[in-house]
Structure 1
Amino acid sequence: MRLWVVANTLSNAGAWMQMVAQNLLVLRLTGSVAITGVSLSVQALPGIVLGVAGGSLVDRWPRRLTAGLGQLAMATIAFATAGLAALGALNVPLLMMFGLLTGIVATVDGPACTLLGNDLVPRRDVPSAIAVGSVAGNVGRLAGTAAGAVVAAIGIPLAYAANGISFLLVALTIPLLKLADVAPEGPVEVAAPGGARDGLRYLARHRTLLALVGIGALTSLLGRNYSLSMAALVTGPLHATGSAYGLVAAALAVGGIAGSIVAGRLRQPRLRNVVLLSAIAAGLQVLTGVAPLVAVLVGVVIPMAAAEAAAATTTATMLQTVPPRELRGRVLGAWRTASTGWGLAGPSVLGLILQFAGARGGLIAGGVTVVALLALGRVAYRRWRTGDAAELSGPARQADFATAA
């Protein structure tokens, strides 16, 4: 587990460097912010189209082999991009093509690496393992605040090459991993007909997981894009500089790390935890909208990011532990399809809200709306469960209901 965490932390840092390098490169080649955004969207597009199919392959193939091949494919793409950039032969169409290939590989590599990390610890420690993975991601996010300076120092080609090396490190680590307290590796038999569609069916019929989809969409559209909303607040009403925004970004990352650690203490995560944590994050978002100074904003941002990260980590734990083992790849694939969709729509929706309501008004309106809808949704969900429980009869059906709830 230590090997896996160290390798993935380095890989996250490499991914941040490549993202900054790609943005700088597209801006240098085109001078267009719009095309830069399109280049990021192209990489995310396969998550919508192929997320379910990628998750199905993860359930059918050995996870160790799948993750290793995925990391090698990612490294190959990064090294090819670095070589072309060094030769001055890289253009926007080639960058778009490499981004599309990266997105396609990630639809399989992402869930494979996620589930492989869970297999390294006993079942009782899986929630903590997921939290540790979230901490590694947030450490990479914190390193991302300095990624611009690193790329400027080493150059764009070397930034891509460094990311390729980080993928190789993960690939070389995978054969050294020892699995703990899990079923033997190998192709997993599909328990029900339908193949890739099984993940969508399971997610759609499992009311708790379906509620997580609704919460994820709601918070992403109205609040979770803190990099956008905080930038608008700091450079707008607070009249601060870019260095002040860097301080706020670092505070967001610190809060994210703290929230992931807190979530790791929840041995049996529940939907009510996600609802409560999301409501706390939304309530604190309202307070950011009335913050008079950057120093006050930093003090509110840390617990806000902690609550959001704890909710996200708890959600990830439920997605990776509630479904049966043979369906987890497909459920994660279905979730990837949904989350990529609102991840692409979220910045645009929030940007429009901030444009028309202002930075402060947008933050306040979004936070209040999220809290109100979460409260209404919680009441409706409890009535839904109560009605189902009244209709159930017999021990077996009652057990099924308890598991779903």
Structure 2
Amino acid sequence: MKPFQPTLFEGSKRLVYDEAVDLTLQSMQAYGPTHDHWGLAWSGGKDSSATLTLIVHLIDVGRLAPPKSLTVFYADTRQELPPLAIAAASMMEQLAARGIACEVVRAPLDKRFLVYMLGRGVPPPNNRTFRWCTRQIKVDPMADAIEARLDALDGNVLMITGVREGESAIRDERIRMSCGKDGAECGQGWYQEVLPQSKGVRGRIATLAPLLHWRVCNVWDWLRIYAPMPEYGGWATAAIADAYGGDEANEINARTGCIGCPLASQDLGLETVLKSAVWSYLAPLRGLKLIYRELREDDSKRLKKTGLEEDGTLSSGKNKQRKGPLTFAARLDALERILAIQGACNASARELGRPEIDILNPEEEARIRELIAAGTWPNGWDGDEPTADTPMDSIFRDGSVQPLLVW
């Protein structure tokens, strides 16, 4: 006799009778038919993957009328946790088998995270004053892809997202401030008539978050128990839940992000993955966070403005002696260390018969070396500035100068 296991559907085999799924269905039925085309923004994480697979399932079983077209936009940052990237690749094959278009959205080569940082010399992002990564490698490419798709279509588009309450305090406050906007009713998802960050699309595009009301336990049950079952689509989603903590996911409620994310104090997503024996061979990836921290904090690896113009007068601007880009030596050193980390992971993967990783491919490596060889610096920097550890007089924002103390 099988032990009792609480389920998402609480004794009902037909998922439409479950309250959470029923509310999602009502949300889609309320707004879906008023839009000719649907798009789905998919990050490969738990919420957007649950949204994607559930919507496709509801269409497959005839519970939800399909639109004229459905396009899935997969945000490939090139920095995702390997289990999520591998699961996404499998799911894209399943989507293709169903005839569902899936567009892989990446930043242009020169704006990808490692190319931009090591090729152009821009230091790693931080949470205080220089958070450039999210918009550049995820938000802007997605907005551009959606606008390009919209230009190719007649009629309006409904963008479906995996936004849920409870994932972020800032996000929840934004949802509460706009609750009921554009005629949305409570319980019918967070509906907005204009896609944030897009331009020139007003009146033709709207967003809907049909899983807004789901609890995290609903998401785990769907990804780990139901979605992988043949009758619910046979989706390759179990590995997604495992990446968030497997059996302990409900307790730790882990969130994932980029590998070695410079914005996070701890790499909880990676550490959660490494607790699983099947992914422990990825342990060298821990070294990425150390590399990024050194590039940001080690003054010998970065240039610095002197605070003076060529003629000796004070420079304009508030931060006259700001730290800036990475030196060529620092970039090349980081490049070799990252390649070594990737190589170590893949050597173990081949020995164990496990999937290899791809965080820096030959095209990206070649472009980084090309940009360094061309003497590329960020705008406003010439490369002849001193390194940030060079002793010099301190020049403050008000123009006052504190001479260098000589002992």
Interval containing the TM-score (normalised by the shorter chain): under 0.3
Q: TM-score, normalised by structure 2?
A: 0.23
- Larger relative contact order (C-alpha < 8 A, sep ≥ 6)? 1
Compare the two structures and name the one with the higher helix fraction.
1
Larger radius of gyration: 2
Q: TM-score, normalised by structure 1?
A: 0.23
Compare the two structures and name the one with the higher strand fraction.
2
